[in-house]
């Protein structure tokens, strides 16, 4: 058992390092690389989502079209962020969502909840990952500080929450959905992320100190809501991991659940501010 646990630790560690390096390199490589990487992530995430809700893409039309719909919507959002199309052209997605909704009517067991989740999943995944492109272009041209800062804060928050939770974690935060999370861990994540924001504010960038602080608060709060939302979905369908693509870490949605609500909220702030 001890040997199995050690092997799992190294598996998680190696996967984690490769994951972080690949993500950082994609951000530093430029706008098109970042768009392509998260396009791939969106489609894989959509595939995992269809499996969770019982409409797996590999053997149902509903799941297959949900993947297509997600990919199209993400592509349109990313293209508009890159100024390849006008924002109004995102409306091209409307026929896809109509077909996506209609497809449920011809399933063996039509279900309104499955229909709603199918469409909800497409919008949530495509809009969240597409928002990363808008975030990177918020100053009119590609700037890596925002997406890179977001993910660094996300990792810092997870680290702070884990360490404080292990050290002082006693009070359950939301036991019915995520029994492992504690109030102490949540506070530790917020505190360490805020500390990181003060360090980040000393780096030369277009962002003001208050921007870094807001980003830290947004990440440390809303990344948890994204995590809990995915956990709630998996619990509802009795699924442990969204997938197996990342050894030791589960699926794409397991790794990127913190993006799902935090990035759109952060984008909302920057659109109002700039």
Residue 6 scores a pLDDT above 60: no
Give the per-residue pLDDT at 180.
86
Instruction: To the nearest 10°, report the CA torsion of 192, 194, 199, 203.
Output: 130
Measured between alpha carbons, how far is residue 171 from residues 11, 183, 184, 230 in Å?
A: 30, 6, 7, 22
CB 212 within 8 A of CB 149: yes
Distance between CA atoms of 66 and 64, rounded to whole angstroms?
Answer: 5
In this prediction, residue 3 carries a pLDDT of 52
| 2, pLDDT greater than 60 | no
User: Per-residue confidence at 176, pLDDT binned at 50, 70, 90?
Assistant: confident
92 contacts: CB under 8 Å, gap ≥ 6 = 72, 76
In this prediction, residues 231-249 reach a mean pLDDT of 88
pLDDT reading at 123 higher than 50 = yes
CB 237 within 8 A of CB 52: yes
pLDDT of residue 1: 46
The mean pLDDT of 68-76, rounded to a whole number, is 96
pLDDT in tens, 241-266: 998 888 877 899 999 999 999 999 99
Q: In this model, does residue 7 exceed pLDDT 80?
A: no
Average pLDDT over residues 40-51: 96
What confidence score (pLDDT) does residue 250 get?
A: 87
Mean pLDDT, range 136-151, rounded to an integer: 94
pLDDT bucket at 101, cuts 50 / 70 / 90: confident
Percentage of the chain modeled with pLDDT above 70: 97
Only one residue has tokens 């759109």, namely 264
pLDDT number for residue 14: 86
pTM over 0.85: yes
Report yes or no: 138 and 207 within 8 Å, Cβ to Cβ. Answer: no
Place of tokens 């997600």: 70
Least confident range from 8-17, 68-77, 184-193: namely: 8-17
Residue 104 pLDDT grade (very low, low, confident, very high; cuts 50, 70, 90): confident
At residue 9, the pLDDT reads: 64
Task: Evaluate if residue 69 carries a pLDDT over 80.
Answer: yes
Q: Percentage of the chain with pLDDT > 90?
A: 72
Average pLDDT, the chain: 91
How many Cα atoms occupy the beta-carbon half-sphere of 57 within 13 Å?
Answer: 18
What is the rounded CA–CA span in Å between residue 54 and residue 162?
32
> Which of 13-27, 66-80, 95-109, 133-147 comes out lowest in average pLDDT?
95-109
Torsion of CA 85, 86, 91, 96, to 10 degrees: 10
């Amino acid at each position: 058992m001890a040997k199995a646990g050690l092997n799992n630790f190294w598996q998680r560690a190696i996967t984690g390092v490769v994951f972080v390096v690949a993500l950082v390199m994609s951000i530093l490589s430029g706008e098109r690389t970042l768009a392509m990487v998260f396009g791939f992530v969106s489609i894989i995430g959509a595939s995992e989502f269809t499996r969770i809700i019982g409409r797996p893409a590999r053997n149902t039309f509903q799941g297959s079209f949900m993947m297509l719909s997600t990919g199209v919507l993400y592509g349109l959002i990313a293209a508009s962020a890159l100024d390849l199309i006008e924002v109004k052209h995102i409306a091209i997605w409307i026929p896809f969502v109509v077909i996506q909704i209609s497809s449920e009517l011809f399933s063996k067991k039509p279900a309104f909840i499955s229909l709603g989740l199918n469409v909800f999943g497409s919008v949530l995944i495509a809009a969240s990952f597409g928002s990363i492109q808008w975030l990177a272009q918020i100053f009119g041209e590609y700037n890596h500080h925002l997406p890179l800062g977001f993910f660094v804060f996300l990792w810092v928050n997870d680290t702070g929450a884990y360490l404080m939770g292990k050290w002082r974690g006693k009070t359950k935060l939301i036991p019915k959905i995520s029994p492992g999370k504690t109030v102490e861990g949540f506070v530790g994540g917020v505190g360490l992320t805020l500390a990181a924001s003060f360090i980040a504010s000393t780096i030369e960038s277009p962002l003001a100190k208050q921007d870094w602080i807001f980003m830290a608060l947004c990440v440390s709060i809303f990344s948890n809501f994204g995590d809990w939302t995915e956990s709630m979905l998996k619990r509802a369908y009795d699924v442990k991991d969204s997938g197996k693509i990342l050894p030791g870490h589960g699926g794409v949605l397991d790794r990127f659940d913190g993006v799902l609500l935090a990035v759109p909220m952060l984008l909302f702030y920057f659109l109002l501010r700039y």
